[in-house]
């Protein structure tokens, strides 16, 4: 299976998918650099007037509610509707959902009006949407205790893939569950690594023959790059440049070494 | 005293305070990474609708007027009022005050409507609010010539701590003045180091038994980390990752070495 | 000629020009750090209410339409008009023009209402404004195939300098064309390197006796710093800190080595 996953990674570099991001101001720069390093092409937008044009030319739309202005909710919905119309996959990152009613309502509105192909969040965020989570603290925290049956039900309800990422990533289409554990704890010490991963899954999903395989490839690749970067890091500061380098130049041999026995079909 | 300051630094890691930032788009990413590296938990928000929820769950609120949209002023005031209501400390960074009438009015409005625990700015910004400064050039400049009696009077007028940072940092509660000189000049060559320091003082202040000691601990710790990072840096680019690493892994021994004779009670 | 170009670089450090940026949220941090490293003083603003004050105190205004909110278009126009009134040069970066009608209209409005001193874009963006380009993909892409006569005509039409940057940079005042080829391909793998270059050309242009020489100096210096940084880089991640270091400490000897035979008067 690792070869199939790597094939998606190579397709990203060959096809150079255009990832249309409406994302938060904390992570725009890092997200764009992650996409560029991996071979995708980022566009960030805050102008609702260009929703139709960008939805038409993009390969995938990524909606991230991290620092939404009230006025941007309408933009997200509009962009999502155009992406649906033009048959472009939509990925949602419900950042901080569970922490404020505003974020809960916003995520709910998007899920109601827009057909999404993937929801990517940490355990707490996915748990909240699945209806099983407690309080979410901050946006960079990773809670443990994921209720897998509830997450599968959630995937069915919204007819979407769901990826709950943490020490182990869980990916489900509502039927089976795949897991990935290539990641590294230093990822949690750098802001935006979750948001950038969401955008990267969008790029992979957009070029993969099978969406689920695309998302799993992104999860495994991202974590493998983190693992390589962490080897010689002294902390989150030195980790970041090494991580972007690894997204840029990770070899299949390194990927295989990091991902062997770390990717599995759970059920 | 260094042991007392270090105890606050350790409390930040143990208690993991949630720092609620309404800050400028230039520094969101760097600020979040500084907070994470030091062991705090950042949340950035631009949605006025979540002011009450975030003020309720946060440990401290940080208001930064660096790139305020007109519409965000109301958000700052609202968040500040909720923080006051829920007895959460509020820290103000009056970025660029003195440079434009708009910033002067905004800072003045916040200080009028919101009870702040700390104002952190460079000499020029603090001097302006204290009523003694000339023209402020840019937002990253550090002017010399601080009128300490005026700054003490300012602290009394707003019943707040005031930290004027520069080559030497001055911290006053309106009565006594404490100083810190652990910093390094490379901090001035990296944008957002002042803004991130403001957020970090918020994290320290939130967990300290005595607010003034918390702020002093943040100033001394931040500067000591900068000093360590600068040792092997070739410029502002290589300084940044090393600085985040140092915020993450500075030892007490290193802190003591950098802070010895650099922290003092002036009056 | 290299000595004349270097003299402008030194003037930036001596005169420390204040660069007033209305730019996109992706690149604010990187742009500010590039300006600081090179010795200029950045100010970023999103508050239309401070347009007059900032236009009065700045050395140059840089307008970048990368992630414009609809409401910010008015701010750009207002700031541009004040800069014109106070005789401060205005530089325009038409990010992503050609990709959406919204960006086309916005760039067109600015060019109609504001007298600009320089338009800096990649081949695709400049080609679009010159009326010769096809589809622009993303905002970080560099297309080849620049129609120089059309670009010269465009410079005449708007009475401005035009810099179309890519593997080779072309700079024209509508009459002659100068070229620079000091750059490095890794610049394309880091987001915001074009936007930051635009702001840096503003800083150089503001202190140069002859605007065209100022812009050429910025292009040559920026590329030479990139070349130095790329030497020991393993990818875009490690390139970034080294690039900021090089902007900070590039020597004339290094500049000369990188720029020799790379800068030319084409016609």
Instruction: Please give the pLDDT value at position A135.
Output: 43
**Number of residue pairs across A and B with CB atoms under 8 Å?**
107
Q: Which of residues 10-29 of A touch C (CB under 8 A)?
A: 18, 25, 28-29
Instruction: Please give the pLDDT value at position C231.
Output: 95
Instruction: Please give the pLDDT value at position B135.
Output: 43
Q: Regarding predicted confidence, which is higher, A31 or A71?
A: A31
Average pLDDT over every residue of A255-266:
93
Q: Which of residues 118-177 of C touch A (CB under 8 A)?
A: 135, 137-141
Q: How far is C26 from chain B (nearest CA, A)?
A: 9
Q: Do A50 and C103 touch (CB under 8 A)?
A: yes
Average pLDDT over every residue of B225-251:
97
pLDDT higher than threshold 90 for residue B68? no
Share of chain A above pLDDT 70, in %: 95
Alpha-carbon distance A9 to A21, whole Å?
A: 20
Determine contact, residues C49/C26, Cβ cutoff 8 Å: no
pLDDT higher than threshold 80 for residue C123? yes
Instruction: Please give the pLDDT value at position A242.
Output: 98
Asked if A42 is an interface residue toward chain C (Cβ–Cβ < 8 A), one would say yes
Q: How far is C18 from chain B (nearest CA, A)?
A: 7
Ranking A121-125, A141-145, A190-194 by mean pLDDT, the lowest is A141-145
Q: How far is A46 from chain B (nearest CA, A)?
A: 13
Share of chain B above pLDDT 90, in %: 86
Average model confidence (pLDDT) for chain C?
Answer: 93
Average pLDDT over every residue of C155-174:
97
Average pLDDT over every residue of A226-242:
97
Asked if C96 is an interface residue toward chain A (Cβ–Cβ < 8 A), one would say yes
Determine contact, residues C131/C104, Cβ cutoff 8 Å: no
Average model confidence (pLDDT) for chain B?
Answer: 93
Instruction: Please give the pLDDT value at position A133.
Output: 67
Average pLDDT over every residue of A213-237:
97
Q: Which chains touch B (3 or more CB pairs under 8 A)?
A: A, C
Give strand ranges (E) for chain C. Answer: 18-22, 41-44, 60-64, 90-93, 118-122, 161-165, 169-172, 177-180, 263-265
Instruction: Please give the pLDDT value at position C133.
Output: 67
Instruction: Please give the pLDDT value at position C134.
Output: 53
Q: Do B67 and C53 touch (CB under 8 A)?
A: no
Residue C113, CA distances (Å) to A8, C84, C107 in order: 47, 10, 10
Determine contact, residues A63/A91, Cβ cutoff 8 Å: yes
Interface test with B, best of A237, A244, A245 (most B CBs within 10 A): A237
Ranking A172-181, C135-144, C212-221 by mean pLDDT, the lowest is C135-144
Q: Regarding predicted confidence, which is higher, B139 or A12?
A: A12
pLDDT higher than threshold 50 for residue A141? no
DSSP C18: E
Structure tokens at A109: 């509105």
| pLDDT bracket for residue B144 (50, 70, 90) | low
Residue where the block lists tokens 């130095």: C228
Q: How far is A45 from chain C (nearest CA, A)?
A: 5
| pLDDT bracket for residue A144 (50, 70, 90) | low
Ranking A106-110, B263-267, C124-128, C232-236 by mean pLDDT, the lowest is B263-267
Q: Nearest residue of B to residue C53 by CA position?
A: B100
* Bridge partners for B164 per DSSP: B121, B170
Instruction: Please give the pLDDT value at position C128.
Output: 95
pLDDT higher than threshold 70 for residue A34? yes
Instruction: Please give the pLDDT value at position C142.
Output: 45
Q: Do A101 and B50 touch (CB under 8 A)?
A: yes
C25, C68, C99 ranked by CB distance to A57: nearest = C99
Q: Give how far the C-alpha of residue A119 lies from the chain's centroid of Cα atoms, to the nearest Å.
A: 7
Asked if C66 is an interface residue toward chain A (Cβ–Cβ < 8 A), one would say yes
How much of chain A is helix, strand and coil, in % rounded to 5?
Answer: 55, 15, 30
Share of chain C above pLDDT 70, in %: 95
Share of chain A above pLDDT 90, in %: 86
| pLDDT bracket for residue C135 (50, 70, 90) | very low
Q: Regarding predicted confidence, which is higher, C135 or C93?
A: C93
Instruction: Please give the pLDDT value at position A134.
Output: 53
Q: Do A190 and B29 touch (CB under 8 A)?
A: no
Provide DSSP, A17-47.
-EEEEE--TTTHHHHHHHHHHHT-EEEE---
Q: Which residues, 6 or more positions from B149, have their beta carbon under 8 angstroms from its beta carbon?
A: none
Instruction: Please give the pLDDT value at position B181.
Output: 97
| pLDDT bracket for residue C20 (50, 70, 90) | very high
Domains of chain C: 2-260 (3.40.1190.20)
Q: Give how far the C-alpha of residue B138 lies from the chain's centroid of Cα atoms, to the nearest Å.
A: 18
Q: Do C28 and B25 touch (CB under 8 A)?
A: yes
| pLDDT bracket for residue C46 (50, 70, 90) | confident
Most confident of A21-25, B24-28, B31-35: B31-35
Alpha-carbon distance C167 to C151, whole Å?
A: 17
Q: How far is B102 from chain C (nearest CA, A)?
A: 6
């Amino acid at each position: 299976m690792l070869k199939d996953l790597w094939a998606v990674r190579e397709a990203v570099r060959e096809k150079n998918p255009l990832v249309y991001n409406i994302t938060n101001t904390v992570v725009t720069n890092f997200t764009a650099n992650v996409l560029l390093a991996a071979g995708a092409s980022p566009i960030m937008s805050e102008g609702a007037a260009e929703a139709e044009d960008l939805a038409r030319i993009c390969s995938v739309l990524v909606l991230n509610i991290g620092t939404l202005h009230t006025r941007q909710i309408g933009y997200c919905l509009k962009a999502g509707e155009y992406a649906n119309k033009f048959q472009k996959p939509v990925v949602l990152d419900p950042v901080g959902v569970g922490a404020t009613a505003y974020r809960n309502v916003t995520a709910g509105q998007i899920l109601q009006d827009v057909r999404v192909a993937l929801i990517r969040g940490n355990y707490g965020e996915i748990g909240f949407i699945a209806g099983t989570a407690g309080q979410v603290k901050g946006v960079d925290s990773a809670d443990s205790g994921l209720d897998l049956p509830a997450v599968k039900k959630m995937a069915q309800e919204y007819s979407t893939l769901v990826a709950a990422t943490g020490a182990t990533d869980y990916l489900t289409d509502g039927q089976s569950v795949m897991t990935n554990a290539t990641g590294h704890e230093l990822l949690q010490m750098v802001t935006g690594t979750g948001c950038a991963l969401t955008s990267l899954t969008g790029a992979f999903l957009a070029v993969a023959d099978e969406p689920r395989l695309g998302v799993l490839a992104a999860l495994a690749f991202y974590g493998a790059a983190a693992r390589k970067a962490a080897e010689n890091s002294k902390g989150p500061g030195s980790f970041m440049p090494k991580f972007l380098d690894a997204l840029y130049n990770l070899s299949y041999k390194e990927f295989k070494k990091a991902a062997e026995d770390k990717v599995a079909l759970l059920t």
